[in-house]
Structure 1
Amino acid sequence: MRFSAIACSALLGLIHASPLAGNSLDARAATFTNPVLWEDYPDLEVIRIGDVFYYSSSTFAFSPGAPVLKSYDLVNWTPVSHSVPTLNFGSKYNLTSATDRAYVQGIWASSLRYRESTDTFMWIGCVESSKSYLWTASGTGAKSNNGEVANWDWKATASVNKCYYDCGLLVDDDDTIYVAYGSTNIMVAQLNKDGTAEVKSQQVYTDGTYIEGSRMYKINGYYYIFVTKPATDEWVLKSKSPWGPYEMKVLVQSIAGPLANAGASHQGGIVGTKDNNWYYVAFMDSFPGGRIPVVAPITWSSDGWPSLVKDSSGAWGKTYPFPVSTSKTVPPPTGTDNFQGTSLSHEWEWNHNPDTTKFKLLGGSTGGLQLSTATVTDDLYTARNTLTHRIIGPKSSGTFRIDISKMADGDRTGAALFRDNMAYIGIHREGTTDKLVYVNNLSIDLNNSWKTNATGTVAASTTLSAGTTEVWLKVQADITPAFNTATQRTTTFWYSTDGSKFTQLGSAFKMTNDWHFFTGFRYAVFNFATKALGGVVQVKSFAMEKVA
């Protein structure tokens, strides 16, 4: 269960949290349990419009980028959009060759804000330390509909030949747009009325310590910039002017909890409820699963400094009273996607920008996603149109149902555990024979600009019976945190030809806890050619389920 039934009695006087009605995820318990979402959503920013909270995150070279999640209670979240539908940062983001790729580049810590005066969501982020990009979604209806968005229509609005590194936007009370940014030396820039160019910029804080991850706010007449001292602390800068001078106090410092073998909760943002209760939403380094969000209430001193509400041992609480009393719900992260409708759900992200001519949703009552081969290669890291999905922790499975009847000689399709070192279970078509294979030890090299280091080894195989047209391929992953330990969590790979009886193929794959790739392991489905384009598979469904 995501939520604990044990109340934090010391906090009940601080935050009103009555039992809530009708949510299949948590039965609307009086308390919630951290982490609130056991998925990889790092470098976050959280805002509220009316009754709706929105959450933005970094995505590096995955496309579409900068996912937007929504919640009514700060605990249950679902993806609803992407601020950057296409990575418009250069050719390397299209993955058209093995020597022109964008692994561990792209969207790092960025910022999402809402400008009420124009009913516009604004996203801004620095890419490759050289240029900042602005995407906007106007006419959303959020202002007139209590925060609900009727239409996301993101447009590439501008780019600035300056890096607003790890930036945080602020739309001030008078509609002036500021952006806080930088590392060690924290800067503030004022943008023009459209946010498309810089008016002025100046340094507002430094003490020689490396800090980053700026988030900027105006609360009760004070300007705040929240910054991170990686990868353990969160500092608060406070001033009466956006230009300073700023005072500094520490919000959290190497705080313990709420999960064992995970990093300290840090880097994120604060958000207030309609009842003016405030929360700090941060992430924990929780590899092999990535960086996952946690929530804790904050209180304010009479002179405007925030303090985190901790548990009785001085740690980040495992449980807290529910932040918002509401009957509104969002879909759970688990379940089955039959790929119906006219577009992919926002749970999905391609490895780099896809070739849009090589996939389509089939529509109709049964749905399905058609993947035509888009690349001739023997390297999965160079294959276009690999579709990825975050793994939910601590243990889960992702199962793809795939029609392989239209594969061509030399084609490779399958289900992967995707990261900088990975493995997959799949079909290698050789002539008219379908070999079911478990391939491990695929890797790209941190020390060589993320070039492919190994294309994998067939560690186990069997031959499918002639006439087999469908396979179910399951990846079962344990992403229980093992950060900064020698423990290696494992993933197993399974197959079925009837969707009911599954057989494991090969031995368990040991995952790395290294953080340098920044994202956690993902489920993925792929289809590429080694001889010639033309083969097709149909992904009929994907099911993600928690595993005991």
Structure 2
Amino acid sequence: MKSRLILAALLAVTFAATSTTSVAQTEVRQSWKRGIENQRKADLGDGTFLNPVLAGDHPDPSVLKDGDDYYMTLSSFDAYPGLPIWHSRDLVNWQPVGHGISRNVGSIWAPDLVKYQGRYYIYFPARRGEGTERSNFVVWADDINGPWSEPINLGLSRYIDPGHAVGEDGKRYLFLSGGDYVQLADDGLSVVGEPRHVYDGWHYPESWDVEAYAQEGPKITRHGDWFYMTTAVGGTAGPPTGHMVITARSRSIHGPWQNAPNNPITRTRSASEPWWSRGHATLVEGTDGRWWMMYHGYENGFWTLGRQALLDPVEWTDDGWFVAKGGDLGKPLKKPSGSTVEHGMPLSDDFSGGKLGPQWAFYSPAPDEYDRLQFGDGVLTLQGKGSAPRDSSPLQVIAGDTGYQFEVQMDIEPGAQGGALLFYSDRLYVGVGSNGEDFIMHRYGEERPTTLAPSSKGGRLWIRVRNDRHIVTFHTSRDGKTWSKYPVQMEVSGYHHNVAGKFLALKPSIYAAGNGKVQFRQFRYRALD
């Protein structure tokens, strides 16, 4: 209880950086194109695009160029199915393909998606609890659409952020956090020997405000006669000026590695910029021969949305290095060439598909979590679990808009409790729940009242959640027509990693707790203008 009170006190602190919106931000907001459900869309339709290319919580992007196609996977942390895979033809417009993993092996960080001799591999670290149990894994598939193998444990418990490479000797390697690397077996499914240290990194001036040194996320690119190791340092969150992109090169995969004279390649230099904590880049060549970096960053004032996928043009210099050309990414940039796919996916769901839609993921599911689900006649029936959102493994979607609302209809069986939430983690969430008759308020990851007795009747209920740039209001209805405003409103700009840790995002969610079942119908999402 004491820790939750401390967390609530932290949330009450007003951060100047998150409480104001600059004129520049307003101008950017007004220039967005709108796509499915009024969601923000990067492609402006005039040959230019405006970052982010994938809005919302899409951190640590790893991009694979596969002929004229691009595929990307990202960190999925505690969400399962995990390792989401996206497809693009122009690096700006993206469509979901599927997921690389369904079985919970822990919180998944910084993956690397590669193709080797016709087979696809995703290398990734995962950790359980507070990181006391962790390892690195690989999944593979002969088709990007799957099926994907079961995760194979590679060991390497001291490391995160594996990056795959093929050396000049034809052997396969994994580069790891801290500047170490290890050889892989020829099939890529086990390691050979022990990791060795090969790179000490590039060190920024002590006067810079960063989170920590945190040398991680090595991505290896072969260009010309050189191998380039592009790495993140400065910490992922913390001060907006912390995270950055650096690079080094070597003639041999085994080093020595020479730091670029223009490091850092990219860094947020001021909290007034539109994107904070920019880093963790993958280099990728466009189909027109232009080069790009895909990395992540926090939107100014919106840590709550998580780290969003950003695209930055780069140019190669005459001496064989590369420079970033996108500035602070606050203005439209010339699009890469290539055909387009329809961007994004609907978050709304009428539950008529007979299975869990691609927009949904459980938070920290148990091995038998999917057994809780039943579908039929436009209804998602979810068996209750636990007593509150924190232990009920809510179903979540990723919101990429600074303002949005969603609503859902629920039929709550006797003994069950159902609700609609903005869920960050099992320690931090806000929402409204009901046993079918009475309400319970979820604030700061606590329940008010602390318990809600099971109802012997249950009931039908509609809940609407509106998050208008951190101001959250709730409405409820008994018939889906006449709505009543819930008497408590919330301000949620502090629901993010720098307060609660875990590198997550605040996500629209639904949950079912208790001993009964909750039937969900017509989940509807729409971004606000």
TM-score range, shorter chain: 0.7 to 0.9
Q: Does the Cα contact within 8 Å between 2:420 and 2:431 map onto a contact in 1?
A: yes
- Give the residue type in structure 1 aligned to 2:434: I
- Give the residue type in structure 2 aligned to 1:476: R
**Which residue number corresponds to residue 102 of structure 1?**
none
- Give the residue type in structure 1 aligned to 2:411: D
Shift of 1:136: 2.4
Q: Does the Cα contact within 8 Å between 1:399 and 1:472 map onto a contact in 2?
A: yes
Shift of 1:57: 1.6
- Report the CA distance shift for 1:542/1:41 in structure 2 as closer, same or farther (over 3 A): same
**Which residue number corresponds to residue 445 of structure 1?**
none
**Which residue number corresponds to residue 93 of structure 1?**
none
1:382 to 384, 391, 394: 391
Q: In structure 2, what is the Cα distance between the partners aligned to 1:197 and 1:137?
A: 12
How many residue pairs get matched? 460
- Report the CA distance shift for 1:228/1:261 in structure 2 as closer, same or farther (over 3 A): same
- Give the residue type in structure 2 aligned to 1:348: W
Alignment of 1:40-119 (within 5 A): 40-89=57-106, 106-115=107-116, 117-119=117-119
1:139 to 138, 142, 149: 142
**Which residue number corresponds to residue 182 of structure 2?**
189
Shift of 1:351: 1.2
Q: In structure 2, what is the Cα distance between the partners aligned to 1:46 and 1:83?
A: 14
Any idea what SS the aligned residue of 1:266 has?
strand
- Give the residue type in structure 1 aligned to 2:110: A
* 1:403 and 2:411 correspond: yes
Q: Does the Cα contact within 8 Å between 2:385 and 2:391 map onto a contact in 1?
A: no
Q: Does the Cα contact within 8 Å between 1:5 and 1:30 map onto a contact in 2?
A: no
Any idea what SS the aligned residue of 2:151 has?
strand
The percent of aligned pairs where both chains have the same amino acid is: 22
* 1:122 and 2:103 correspond: no
Shift of 1:381: 1.1
**Which residue number corresponds to residue 339 of structure 1?**
351
Alignment of 1:41-440 (within 5 A): 41-89=58-106, 106-115=107-116, 117-127=117-127, 128=131, 131-140=134-143, 149-171=144-166, 176-183=171-178, 186-200=179-193, 201-206=195-200, 209=203, 210=213, 211-230=215-234, 231-249=242-260, 250-255=263-268, 260=273, 262-286=275-299, 287-311=303-327, 315-326=328-339, 328-354=340-366, 355-356=368-369, 358-363=371-376, 366-375=377-386, 377=387, 379-383=388-392, 385-404=393-412, 407-409=413-415, 411-419=416-424, 420-429=427-436, 434-440=437-443
Shift of 1:238: 0.6
After superposition, the C-alpha distances for 1:409-449 in whole angstroms (9 at most, x for unaligned) are: 3x2210011024221112124xxxx114433232xxxxxxx
- Report the CA distance shift for 1:436/1:229 in structure 2 as closer, same or farther (over 3 A): same
- Report the CA distance shift for 1:261/1:491 in structure 2 as closer, same or farther (over 3 A): farther
**Which residue number corresponds to residue 471 of structure 1?**
461
After superposition, the C-alpha distances for 1:56-88 in whole angstroms (9 at most, x for unaligned) are: 222222222222222222222233222221113
Q: In structure 2, what is the Cα distance between the partners aligned to 1:273 and 1:173?
A: 24
Shift of 1:213: 1.8
Q: In structure 2, what is the Cα distance between the partners aligned to 1:227 and 1:456?
A: 42
Q: Does the Cα contact within 8 Å between 1:108 and 1:166 map onto a contact in 2?
A: yes
- Give the residue type in structure 1 aligned to 2:382: L
Q: In structure 1, what is the Cα distance between the partners aligned to 2:168 and 2:354?
A: 39
* 1:546 and 2:527 correspond: yes
Shift of 1:241: 0.7
Shift of 1:524: 1.0
Shift of 1:46: 1.4
Q: In structure 1, what is the Cα distance between the partners aligned to 2:405 and 2:40?
A: 20
- Give the residue type in structure 1 aligned to 2:66: I
Q: Does the Cα contact within 8 Å between 1:39 and 1:391 map onto a contact in 2?
A: yes
Shift of 1:113: 1.4
Q: Does the Cα contact within 8 Å between 1:111 and 1:125 map onto a contact in 2?
A: no
- Report the CA distance shift for 1:225/1:253 in structure 2 as closer, same or farther (over 3 A): same
- Return the structure number with greater helix share: 2
Shift of 1:300: 0.6
Q: Does the Cα contact within 8 Å between 2:243 and 2:279 map onto a contact in 1?
A: yes
Any idea what SS the aligned residue of 2:438 has?
strand
Q: In structure 2, what is the Cα distance between the partners aligned to 1:399 and 1:24?
A: 19
Q: In structure 1, what is the Cα distance between the partners aligned to 2:378 and 2:185?
A: 46
Q: In structure 1, what is the Cα distance between the partners aligned to 2:86 and 2:30?
A: 20
TM-score, normalised on structure 1?
0.76
Aligned-pair Cα RMSD in Å: 3.1
- Give the residue type in structure 2 aligned to 1:160: G
Shift of 1:240: 0.8
Q: Does the Cα contact within 8 Å between 1:373 and 1:536 map onto a contact in 2?
A: yes
Q: Does the Cα contact within 8 Å between 1:401 and 1:539 map onto a contact in 2?
A: yes
Any idea what SS the aligned residue of 1:344 has?
coil
Q: Does the Cα contact within 8 Å between 2:298 and 2:307 map onto a contact in 1?
A: yes
